[in-house]
Amino acid sequence: MKYELQFRFMLNTDLSRIDIISILKESFTELIHEYENSFIFMGNRLELVKNEDHDATRTGNSEDGYLYFPFLLAVYPVNDDINLKNQIALSKLISNSFNKKNIESEIIADFEGIID
């Protein structure tokens, strides 16, 4: 089966965008700051944006509550040599960095069912 290599993390936190960016920079010193809210890391662009659908009243109310978290971190390959194994490893690194800072996160990925 062929999987889409891009993925997202939905983030449920009261932290500001600047605070989340600081956490990413602290967690991954190899990040290359590209634009105000985006970075290059491990052959991918990471872009942190506010979720336009954010609704605090819906974040904990259903199975789809994560769709209403305040932030999303989009991750998509910018190098041609990125493969599924790379993306799974990167998704684990990012997830661990959020877990260490007690940031609730939910991955949305074509390959999320095969992450161990």
pLDDT tens digits, one per residue of 52-65 = 999 988 888 778 89
| 1 in a structural domain | no
What is this structure's pTM? 0.92
Nearest Cα neighbor of 40 from 28, 49, 50, 51 is 28
Q: How far apart are CA 75 and CA 109, in angstroms?
A: 10
What is the domain range of residue 94? 7-112
Q: How many domains does the chain have?
A: 1
State pLDDT tens for residues 6-34. 999 999 999 999 999 999 999 999 999 88
Q: How far apart are CA 61 and CA 110, in angstroms?
A: 24
Q: What is the CATH number of the domain that holds 65?
A: 3.30.310
